[in-house]
Amino acid sequence: MYAEKGNHIITAATEHKAILDTCKRLEKHGIRVTYLPVQTNGLVDLEMLKEAITDKTILISIMYANNEIGVIQPMAEIGKIAKAKGVLVHSDATQAVGKVPVNVIKDNIDLMSMSGHKIYGPKGVGALYVRRKSPRVQITAQMDGGGHERGMRSGTLNVPGIVGLGEACAICNADMPTESKRMAYLRDKLRGKLESELDEVYVNGTMEHRLPNNLNISFAYVEGESLLMGINDIAVSSGSACTSATLEPSYVLKALGAGDDLAHSSIRFGLGRFNTEEEVDYVAAKVIDVVKKLRELSPLYEMAKEGIDLSKVQWAAH
């Protein structure tokens, strides 16, 4: 029914591959997709969003919080803009649910997806919120066979998964006031230690609108994969785990305007419920040690220390 109105979808360049790859697929079916660039702080520019909306726009899909840099998008504002134009909003809230308060009514969200395993719930279960009124969102069933879940998704319900997801949400909700403070404290401690011991470390994305448990840092002149190798007893990722099959630098950091060199030097630290302050101290000490060691090995660090402007060097690119 929405196809009658138009064929245009707006999303952002920093979305998870779950959205980007889906949009790529839709493009093959005649859907036109606008991939909004983001600002250097990682946030969508609302003016650009307004300008991107046409009378053919049927959906805006913007993630609530980014999986690599933890930046939280202004969902309520985005929703307001969309509503004024009669466009539906979908939000991939996989990273946000359970970490920050999410309210589909206040945030003007029409469709919202989330998954269980990101909130200490069972893997293999997720949820799609579908707004029932003002406006009523109608979606096409992806599978037929009995009309379960109001005809939206047929098939016998996964009761243990559903109960587990619900309970995981309840625990996150109950713990959130204390847990988000604890996460932010540990995250800021980690950042403080790294910044006090190492020069030229850069936080990617705004610290102001950010998940309390996320820290994404570029260690200039150190290549991310070699850093991971040195801290292989710590579960972190260079870029995002979802794209670790490729050796390309993070497309999210590139969208922020970080040079490829800094994008190659980034590490995402994600803290969780079971992390302790001792672990954070250990991680900080270990990362500092390995970064120092790798900078001893880095011809770029040596050149930078000699005062050479690396951006002006003629590299023999391969």
Partner 1 sequence: MAYSNKVLDHYNNPRNVGSMDRNDPNVGTGMVGAPECGDVMKLQVKVNPETGVIEDAKFKTFGCGSAIASSSLATEWLRGKTVDEALEIKNTDIVNELSLPPVKIHCSVLAEDAIKAAITDYKNKAVTQTVAVASTK
- Residues of this chain that interact with partner 1 (CB under 8 A) are 221-223, 225-226, 229-230, 247, 249, 259-261, 264, 296-302, 310, 315-318
Strand order in the sheet with 8-12: 32-36, 8-12, 57-61, 88-92, 111-115, 126-130
Q: CB of residue 305 vs partner 1: minimum separation in angstroms?
A: 11
Q: CB of residue 299 vs partner 1: minimum separation in angstroms?
A: 4
> Nearer to partner 1 by C-beta: 134 or 311?
311
> Nearer to partner 1 by C-beta: 166 or 259?
259
> Nearer to partner 1 by C-beta: 74 or 259?
259
Catalytic one among 23, 169, 172, 242?
Answer: 242
Q: CB of residue 317 vs partner 1: minimum separation in angstroms?
A: 4
Q: Within 10 A of 175 (CB to CB), how many other CB atoms are there?
A: 14
Q: Does the annotation mark 23 as catalytic?
A: no
Q: What is the 3-state secondary structure (H, E, C) of 223-274?
A: CHHHHHHHCCCCCCECCCHHHCCCCCCCHHHHHCCCCHHHHCCEEEEECCCC
- Residue 187's Cβ-side half-sphere holds a number of Cα atoms within 13 Å equal to 24
**Could you tell me which residues come within 8 angstroms of residue 119 by beta carbon, excluding any fewer than 6 positions away?**
97, 98, 168, 169, 172
> Nearer to partner 1 by C-beta: 159 or 316?
316
Q: CB of residue 18 vs partner 1: minimum separation in angstroms?
A: 23
Q: How far apart are CA 260 and CA 256, in angstroms?
A: 11
**Catalytic site positions:** 242
